[in-house]
A = this chain, B = another copy of it.
């Protein structure tokens, strides 16, 4: 009876790369090292579709998601990337025509943070998880996070420090004394809200620590930020940021170094994506930096640079503008 519908199907029978549903909101119960509780998730799932089939069975996607979410209540999932993988497997199982499956999750996450004066308060983060793969080829899992911090521009600070030095000369200091003394002062620059992101492709046996990922992001900026800062705390944050000025590029490179140092057990072919967006206070637009590489590539560059450090003074490149 539905024959004519299906006959129409063949008049434009192209393969489709991804077909699915996006923006599915669910609460998932997670138990992971350092994390236990409910995460509010936004979920996207896709499979491919062969050229000779008109439609993908979208309601199966919702069945799979609902069952996985339901089961997490009694048996919490070990992580969002694990949930992504399990849903991926089930997608390939129930869409028998599919050769590819992909699942992405974004979730809000809250974590205790100790402020400069010891005060503990919850800060919010974003988690990003993904799994994807072709049938029979294994699935790749990715886990990541986004954290907000503060960056202070080293370039503008250099110029301001130069102004400070000139003022110090008027006090009778020698150029060398002025140079040294200026280093001790909290010299102005522009600073801004920054957003760092790390995503790490994980292998099956080891669970990557989300808290570690978030710590790396936070510590790769000029300073962490806090919801609650009394005046002395606020001064400490400002001082820390100005003692540790960072370009958007510096943030990404610091993340790269810390990822290499912290995740020694990850295989060389694990893909790492590192991003930093600085919501510049002196512009309407944002500054952006990104590195996408394998662990192997990052390791090689860190090694290469270790030996290069000896020659540092010879190869200085100026940032003139």
Binding site for B on A (CB under 8 A): 1-3, 5-7, 9-27, 37-38, 40, 44, 46, 49, 51-60, 62-63, 66, 69, 97, 108, 110, 121-124, 148, 150, 152-156, 158-160, 162-164, 167, 171, 173, 181, 184-193, 223, 225-232, 234-235, 237-239, 241-242, 247-250, 252-254, 256-257, 277, 279-293, 298, 301-302, 304-305, 308-309, 312-313, 315-321
Contacts and interface: CB of A to CB of B under 8 A. Distances in A.
A235 to B, nearest CB: 4
Contact of A238 (B37, B160, B228): B160
A159 B191 contact: no
B309 A54 contact: no
B282 A238 contact: yes
Contacts of A52: 308, 315, 317
Q: Copies per complex?
A: 4
Contact of A192 (B17, B193, B242): B193
Contacts of A173: 171
B228 A5 contact: no
Contacts of A46: 288, 290
A317 B54 contact: yes
A318 B52 CA distance: 11
A56 B16 contact: no
